[in-house]
């Protein structure tokens, strides 16, 4: 499953947000990988603070549960919360999910049939 999401980074914290992600602490990277998420990327529009994220996962509910149970992820989410505009929960739970409207591989596979 492919998952895309959007968050809004506070404009005054863009530079610091980039710094804390370059690099992310090894224990957090390992926690994300252990949850089952892979091909995880974040893209930042520096003109307005829009943050687009993408990852692939076999079972997103299980990945969410794994991260929710992790003290490492909890500490990271607590640190990161100040960077985002209007969060009602942890960033990984409050992010606006984006529906997929096009995928090249899927359409090429469908056209071949």
The predicted structure's pLDDT at residue 113: 62
Say whether 92 sits in a helix, a strand or coil.
helix
Catalytic one of 6, 10, 21, 25: 21
110 labelled catalytic: no
The 10s digit of each residue's pLDDT in 89-105 is 667 677 889 999 999 99
How far apart CA 30 and CA 26 sit, in angstroms, is 6
The 10s digit of each residue's pLDDT in 3-34 is 999 999 999 999 999 999 999 999 999 999 99
Q: What is the pTM of this model?
A: 0.88
How far apart CA 48 and CA 10 sit, in angstroms, is 9
pLDDT band at 110 (very low <50, low <70, confident <90, very high): confident
The 10s digit of each residue's pLDDT in 53-87 is 999 999 999 999 999 999 999 999 999 999 999 77
Q: Which CATH architecture is the domain 2-112 placed in?
A: 2-Layer Sandwich (3.30)
């Amino acid at each position: 499953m492919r998952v895309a999401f959007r968050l809004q980074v506070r404009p005054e914290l863009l530079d610091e947000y980039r710094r804390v992600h370059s690099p992310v602490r090894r224990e957090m990277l390992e926690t994300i990988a252990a949850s089952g998420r892979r091909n995880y990327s974040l893209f930042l529009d520096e003109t307005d603070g829009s943050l687009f994220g993408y990852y692939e996962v076999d079972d997103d509910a299980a990945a969410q549960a794994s991260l929710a149970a992790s003290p490492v992820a909890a500490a990271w989410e607590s640190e990161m919360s100040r960077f985002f505009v209007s969060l009602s929960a942890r960033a990984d739970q409050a992010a606006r999910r984006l529906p997929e409207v096009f995928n090249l591989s899927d359409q090429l596979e469908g056209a071949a049939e």
